[in-house]
Amino acid sequence: MTNYINLLKENDLKATIQRTSILKSIDQAGHINIDEIYEDVKEQYPTLSLATIYKNIILMQQNSVIVEVPMNGEKSKYELKKDDHIHLICQQCGSIQDREITQSTQKTLVIENFKLNNSQINLYGVCQNCQNR
Ligand SMILES: [Zn+2]
Ligand SMILES: [Zn+2]
């Protein structure tokens, strides 16, 4: 299991109970939106407001602890910062699968006169489950 306290400290953030519980919620879900995080965290800390969660999410995003995954026409989801990877996002059920970036995909990412720092590739389509339905 990820050590959330270290993760926060490594990224120059104080390890507060709010932050560690948000991180735990994100970690367990893989990819999760703010409403779902709120539902999750509320169970344990009923006094925590949506505004507080939102503030902490923004801060942890700025400090590269978590990453926002933009969803087509829906609320963004969040995940813990990992190596760059591809997202396969199902437009029917909203599920997200992580895929490693292979060397051949990496090659296509080399763009002339542009120094790439990081990348997020989101591919939208229909997942296997929904195709079989
Ligand atoms: Zn699906
Ligand atoms: Zn991901």
pLDDT tens for each residue of 24-78: 999 999 999 999 999 999 999 999 999 999 999 999 999 999 999 988 788 999 9
Comparing CA positions, the residue from 68, 19, 74 lying closest to residue 48 is 19
Percent of the chain as helix, strand, coil, to the nearest 5: 40, 25, 35
Q: Model's pTM, two decimal places?
A: 0.86
Q: Which residue has the higher pLDDT, 80 or 101?
A: 80
Comparing CA positions, the residue from 71, 67, 79 lying closest to residue 32 is 79
Give mean pLDDT, residues 99-104: 81
| C-alpha of residue 80 to centroid of ligand 1, in Å | 22
Amino acid at 46: P
Ligand at minimal distance from the CA of 129 is: 1
In 36-112, beta strands by DSSP E: 66-71, 74-80, 85-90, 96-100
Ligand at minimal distance from the CA of 27 is: 2
